A = this chain, B = another copy of it.
Amino acid sequence: MEKGPLQRLQEIAAEIADLHSAAALLAWDEQVYMPKAGAPARAQQAATLRRLAHEKLTDPQVGELLEQLAAEHRGDPATDAVAAMLRVMNRKYHQATRVPAALVAAEAKAASAAYHAWLQAREEKNFGPFREPLAEVVKIQVEKAEALGYEDARYDALLDLYEPEMRTAEVAAVFARLKDFLVPMLGRLSEVLDRVDDGILYQEFDEDRQWALTLEACRAIGFDFDRGRQDRSVHPFTTACDMDDVRITTRINRGFLGSGLFASLHEAGHGLYEQGIDPAFRRSPLGSPISLGIHESQSRLYENLVGRSRAFWQFFMPKAAAAFPARLEGVTAEDMYRAVNKVAPSLIRVEADEVTYPLHIMVRFELEQALIQGDLTVDDLPGAFDDAMEAYLGLRPANSVEGVLQDIHWSGGYFGYFPTYTLGTLMSVQIFEAARRDLPHLAADMASGRFIPLREWLREHIHRHGSRFMPQELLQRATGSRLDPQPFINYVEEKYSELYGL
């Protein structure tokens, strides 16, 4: 029997998914086990897989099948999985075909040059070597945005790659509300920072025992080690080769207990999302998380709403104490709850606490959006970065490594990526509040080590859907409202007022 257009499209999508899964394993291995000398060959292998996936996606046949199927399948994505699959495939097809091959090649080349220049600039603590290569990256991202198309702001086109259907104006409005709350809040906290002491976290903690403790934490919250694993890497991350093969990584810092534990909880949150996707979506465009924001909502939920809660430490303190009897003798769950929630404004984004982290993101959003819109030049970027840091956080970088050279993202051309960190944080509170409404015993459950009801709630309302719903649709269905910063504002206000006795 002749294959129908739907089956033909599904087979192409499955082949593309296989190539992406293979590429995911190559990337995981490169960070975790690959001997360093393997890097040049690995780069070529990964590029070949990416190119083949791109060729398959941009084959004119795909466009024809999509057109043909669009006429036949007019279903509502909310009730019709085929319609949802076609929506996602259409998005990917148009994103891939609108950008000319020459621009894709130029993008890769510029990113590679900028990455090496960034390393050199950091080495020299001097923005100079990064200036020209970054300007080239920005120029190409502008061209890319123009090629992709947009309705209002040029930055929309890039943002949409990471957070489908999100718009610059909405992010700006949400961030403005957040700034109006966080800057004064941080001002109030700054007077009393020494009321919380986290000294207990900064002692020497045996690495093997820390490792065992991170595994215990991941297992407790429901990460399935029969369908996943944890390894060590320099930068923690999560990779899924399949919903039944999810890899998380962590890093252990001998002198700081918080590093490994919270990295593991964060990545396990990502991992639970990947493990929870409906297996019926395997090898289909619906089989991946829908956006970086939703993905980050799951990691932040487990890192912060769970891992930095009183309930979690009521459960976990005895386990930590058993692992480190000498170090943590006499430390109570309440002591630990306070320690892991210390607010400490600093120049370094990745070390930031719940209160200051969004401020770091706002700095980057403001600047990258201005670069793409043409309102800021790369020449003026270092000064603008330092000014913005001072305005948002009250701190001025002493050098460019603490400042404009801090993050890797821009060197790779990832403009539009930063805001998803904070969008995810905001969503995490919305989603956790919705779960709590449905699970009245949630805090008591967590305090006694029962984390499965929460995982099952998330699986039902978020994880299993994969890419079936657009982010805001998914949020609306799960929480009853679209993106809303108010739950996060309330959460921070309440939690930190109480902690710091404001």
Contact = CB atoms under 8 A, between A and B. Distances in A.
A40 B241 CA distance: 11
Contact of A38 (B23, B38, B241): B241
Interface string A198-223: 00000000000000000000000000
Contact of A35 (B45, B48, B227): B227
Interface residues of A, number: 36
A36 B224 CA distance: 12
A11 to B, nearest CB: 10
A21 interface: yes
Given A21-B45, A42-B242, A35 B225 contact: yes
Among A14, A15, A45, A282, max chain B CB count under 10 A is at A45
A132 interface: no
Contact of A241 (B42, B49, B241): B42
A275 B296 CA distance: 41
A231 B459 CA distance: 35
A79 interface: no
Interface stretch (A26-34, A145-153, A354-362, A407-415): A26-34
B44 A228 contact: no
Given A25-B29, A35-B244, A44-B283, 12 more contacts: A15-B52, A18-B45, A19-B49, A22-B26, A29-B29, A33-B229, A33-B231, A36-B226, A37-B244, A38-B244, A41-B245, A42-B245
A48 B19 contact: yes
Contacts of A29: 25, 29
A226 B35 contact: yes
B38 A242 contact: yes
Contacts of A228: 35
A139 B19 CA distance: 33
Contacts of A21: 41, 45
Interface of A: 14-15, 18-19, 21-23, 25-26, 29, 33-38, 40-42, 44-45, 48-49, 52, 225-229, 231, 241-242, 244-245, 282-283
Contacts of A26: 22, 25
28 contacts: A15-B48, A15-B52, A18-B45, A18-B48, A21-B41, A22-B23, A22-B45, A22-B48, A25-B26, A33-B229, A33-B231, A35-B228, A35-B244, A37-B226, A37-B244, A37-B245, A38-B242, A38-B244, A38-B245, A40-B244, A41-B241, A41-B242, A41-B244, A41-B245, A41-B282, A42-B241, A44-B283, A45-B241
B49 A245 contact: no
Contacts of A282: 41
A242 B49 CA distance: 16
A46 to B, nearest CB: 8
Contacts of A229: 33, 35
